[in-house]
Amino acid sequence: MLSGVQGGDPPKITGSTTAIISTDSPRSPCGSLGNHDDSDLVRKQSKIRKCQPRWKEQVRVCERSGLQGPLDDGYSWRKYGQKDIFGAAHPRAYFRCAHRVAQGCLSNKQVQRSDEDPSIFDVTYQGLHTCNQVSHLLPGQPQNKEDQKLKNLQETLLNFKTGCHVKVEDFNSLIEPKSTSFLQPSASKKEKKTVIFSSPERHNHSMDSPVHPPSASPTTSNSSFFPPYRTNNFGGLQNLQSDHNDFATVTASGISSPSQDFGLDFFVDFNSDIPFSR
């Protein structure tokens, strides 16, 4: 999919990502939602979208590992648009949850290749998943919609408070030209994901700057595909954090679907300077 955004041969990649949570601005329309007539549905929905939590992540794409499959963040996405952005060298692709219609999930995301470094993709998530997607659930995780929503909300709020930063490397899918596969786990491929936890960056989580420009977080981070509120959605991540292991591998076979064994291997690498504030 991302190759579609950029064009050209899909690189083989190793990615790393940075997650940046943002909050609604003081001028958020959330407070005035109730003041609108239901008849103005389009406008109302637009405002609802603006009330959704929003965070930005960056994904570095390296040329060596290759296109091995779809970028899988555990959710199914459907591309609904692509737009050339003024002043940007690359177009921006728009995705929404594939279960939007069926389950009313309002989560969506935008993917855009960085101007400064074409190997970096900026991924902006907006909205929490309210859909039931078993693919991202692991044993011990909430199994029903309400529990999942509650857990997502709790984690979001926690991350808002701590500024917790998660670096995630991934990558197979970054490159998949087809958005479908970008979002859907590939049952035929063994995917490997590297998850790196870095120390929280000095991001300003100001209410006035909901999304940080790529230059604001030059370091590191490349995170993506793992929204901050889902940092423990791959089971054991929280435990691994607390252990502060230098390196740990988590095998997560079969988490994406009861009927499929994706054989996901997660290589979790902890930077030594990471203070886990959670």
Long-range interactions of 48-52: CB distance < 8 A, separation 24+: 48/106, 49/106, 49/108, 49/126, 49/127, 50/24, 51/24, 52/106, 52/107, 52/126, 52/127, 52/128
Nearest-approach distance from CB 46 to DNA, in angstroms: 4
Strand order in the sheet with 192-197: 77-83, 92-97, 108-113, 120-126, 54-60, 17-22, 167-169, 192-197, 264-270, 247-252
Q: Whose Cβ is closer to DNA: residue 60's or residue 96's?
A: 96
Please, is 61 exposed, middle or buried when counting C-beta atoms within 10 Å of its C-beta (0-12, 13-18, 19+)?
Answer: buried
Nearer to DNA, 33 or 150 (CB): 33
Please calculate the CA angle 145-161-137 and round it to the nearest 5 degrees. Answer: 25
Q: Are 10 and 3 in contact (CB under 8 A)?
A: yes
Shortest CB 272 distance to DNA, Å: 37
Nearer to DNA, 125 or 197 (CB): 125
Residue in the block written with tokens 């000095």: 202
How near is the Cβ of 168 to DNA at its closest, in Å?
22
In angstroms, what is the minimal distance from the CB of 124 to DNA? Answer: 7
CB of 200 to DNA, least distance (A): 25
* Structure-token match 């859907």, residue found: 184
- Our CB check for DNA shows the closer of 127 and 236 to be 127
Residues near DNA, by CB under 7 A: 1, 4, 27, 29, 42-43, 45-47, 49, 78-88, 92-94, 96, 98, 108, 110, 177-183
Considering the complex, state which of residue 101 and residue 150 has its C-beta at the smaller distance from DNA: 101
Q: Which long-range contacts (CB under 8 A, 24 or more apart) does 242-247 make?
A: 242/276, 244/270, 244/274, 244/276, 245/270, 246/270, 246/272
- The number of C-alpha atoms within 13 Å of 194 and in the hemisphere containing its C-beta is 20
Q: Specify the residue, 96 or 230, whose C-beta has the smaller distance to DNA.
A: 96
For residue 68, give both structure tokens.
Answer: 């091995």
Nearest CA to 19 among 181, 155, 172, 142?
155
Q: Which is nearer to DNA, 61 or 183 (CB)?
A: 183
Instruction: In angstroms, give the least distance from the CB of 262 to DNA.
Output: 17
Could you tell me the smallest distance in angstroms from the CB atom of residue 254 to DNA?
A: 21
CB of 14 to DNA, least distance (A): 23
Q: Which is nearer to DNA, 47 or 165 (CB)?
A: 47
